Structure 1
Amino acid sequence: MTETGRQPAVDRDATVLRLLRTGAMRLEGQLIDASNTTLRAVIEADGTAIRCVYKPVRGERPLWDFPDGTLAGREVAAHLVAQALGWPLVPPTVLRDGPIGPGACQLWIDEPDGSVPLVDFVAADQVPTDWLPVAAARDTDGKPYALAHADDPRLARLAVFDIVVNNADRKGGHVLAGPDNQVYGVDHGLCFHVDDKLRTVLWGWSGRPLPPEAGSALRQLRTAIDATLGGQLASLLTQAEITQLAGRVDGLIEAGCFPSPPATRSAIPWPPM
């Protein structure tokens, strides 16, 4: 504990990871809007209880472009990459057995009551001055709207992370504002493909320089891949996917700026929110 009585973030994460790995799991309910089986559960051990999201492998829907049974491992790999960057962007996530078999188990993030979305559809003439437009849209009555997001440094770091992991499904609903003033990204099963799959609602910084802290974080990640991280990822991803991960980090360091949306394929997931 610190002098103020608050547990350091690193210690808290270690405690949460230990609970996620070893605690007894009790299912509470199912998130019915999710594409794959997604359950909320309580993890308990030694008198401590936390909520989590449990995604069993057997509940994964087959996809044409991602190998069957690999999405849970990709969720864990995303958490490891965020840790290596030094950015707590992904809630603690582990691979463990559960009531429906092995799956990804991730700390549940409760958004504070009254929290303002960081990504949203807004009337085209009412985009806040501190927001960045991404795409034009119209409602059922033909009224013009804009898909836009906050020009927030926490969100910019998440956009950098998505480029690195090649996130094919960054919807607005996958961006959470935690009670600790931290922005979290969730739902990373569709990441790390060897082909360019980046689909995101966070295109507002296209062509702009990366955040000042991104360079050192990316170099730290690149060093980790060649050291211990590569070995940790080997049980979760293919060697080709790890090689491509390293290549994307190298490319982003060299470019020093956010990429622009591709013109030859869809750049925004559907639905965006």
Structure 2
Amino acid sequence: MSGGGAEPAGEAVRTLLAEGTLTVRGRIRDASNAVLYGVVERGGESLPCVYKPVRGERPLWDFPDGNLAMREVAAYEVSRATGWDLIPATVLRDGPYGEGMCQVWVGPLPDAESEDGQDGESEDGQDEEEPLLALVEAEEPGEGWKAVGFADVGGGRTALLVHADDARLRRLAVLDAVLNNGDRKGGHLLRPSGGRLWAIDHGVSFHVDDKLRTLLWGWAGDALTPEAVEVLRGLSGVLAEGAPLATRLAELLTGPEVDAVRKRTEAMLSSGRHPLPSGDWPAIPWPPV
């Protein structure tokens, strides 16, 4: 379990994250809130991690209740319940700077000797696969791509923003709709090795109003896959009052927010389709990375 290649899932990993001794090794540059790189150690095992203390969060006017750390943990719990495991193992725990979220580090490790770590939202070292996002100077996305919309690229020019027609991204689009993710950027998609896709940074999720803002609109209005329908049915069951996931989310979110998760899940099951932008909120984050 030592080093940077540990699988971000499993009870042993969650226990190590929650109960291991957490040592901070550096701070991640360019993050809007305090994001620290560290290591958890216990019983001779160690695991690199991201630690985001609550005291380092900037207040958000539209998220007055709870904190971002709890929302990140709630997002992981929902992801885990889907069986897709798109979010690295994440726990809420005490640390050197107080309570915060602690998540398995995914991808190349930062330089532990430097004061600052590398940005955890980059896609360095991921040249083995084709890109998931692109800007193309065309009117149509081309084979294997889904169109998101046109973007101003300067000089009076526009380019078509596209994402890959990728089954992993499509699962994430469904998960983001359930979470009501308000900030799905390209830099939040990590592919360290082995064909896995991991998604990070879910602090601005679970709002009771429709705040879905994402780069993954390529399937908007399309019929859900049979796999997605089956997963949503399973989610519906564990979100019922008194069910395991509902009970866990009630520890992390407000009652209305948990109710909203149920309603979004049921709405997708009822429509059988990926949601469309609401029109009441910017649909696409910018810049996209």
Q: State the distance in 1 between where 2:126 and 2:150 align.
A: 29
Work out whether residues 33 and 56 of structure 2, in 8 Å CA contact, stay in contact via their aligned partners in 1. yes
DSSP-derived class of the 1:124 partner: coil
2:127 pairs with 1:114: yes
Question: After superposition, what is the alpha-carbon deviation per residue over 1:122-143, rounded to whole angstroms, capped at 9, x for unaligned?
Answer: 3336945201110112323334
Deviations 1:186-211 (A, max 9, x none): 10000111111100010001111112
Partner of 2:231: 217
Q: Counterpart of 2:239 in 1: which secondary structure?
A: helix
Which SS does the other structure have where 1:208 is aligned?
Answer: coil
Give 1:131's aligned residue: 145
TM-score for the superposition, normalised by structure 2 = 0.86
- Per-residue deviation, 1:68: 5.7
Instruction: Look up the match of 1:3.
Output: none
Equivalent residue, structure 2, for 1:252: 268
> Who is 2:53 aligned against?
56
Letter of the structure 2 residue corresponding to residue 230 of structure 1: A
Q: State the 1:262 CA deviation.
A: 2.5
Map of 1:201 onto structure 2: 215
Asked whether the 8 Å contact 2:133–2:162 carries over to 1, the reply is yes
**Contact 1:124/1:144 (CA < 8 Å) preserved in 2?**
no
Residue aligning to 1:28: 25
Q: Could you tell me which amino acid in structure 2 is paired with residue 100 of structure 1? A: Y
Q: Matched residue of 1:218: which SS?
A: helix
Indicate the percent of aligned positions where both proteins have the same amino acid. Answer: 49
Partner of 1:262: 278
Q: Deviations over 1:76-97 (max 9, x none)?
A: 0001001111111110000001
Aligned to 1:139, the other structure's residue is in SS state strand
Under a length normalisation based on structure 1, what TM-score does the superposition of the two structures give? 0.91
Q: CA distance change for structure 1 residues 120 and 23 in 2, over 3 Å: closer, same or farther?
A: farther
RMSD value, Cα: 1.8
In the TM superposition, what are the counterparts of 1:145-184 in structure 2 within 5 Å? 145-184=159-198
- 2:252 maps to which of 236, 239, 243: 236
Which residue identity does 1:117 align to in structure 2? P
Q: Which residue of 2 aligns with 1:5?
A: none
Query: Is 1:96 the counterpart of 2:112 in the alignment?
Result: no
1:70 paired to 2:67: yes
CA contact (8 A) 1:201 1:272 kept: yes
Partners of 2:97 and 2:260 in 1: CA distance: 32
CA deviation vs aligned residue, 1:229-249 (integer Å, no higher than 9, x gap): 111111100011101110110
Taking the aligned partners of 1:250 and 1:178, their CA distance within structure 2 comes to 33
Contact kept? 2:236, 2:262, Cα under 8 Å? yes
Greater displacement, 101-110 / 59-68: 59-68
My pick for the range that moved more, 142-151 or 13-22, is 142-151
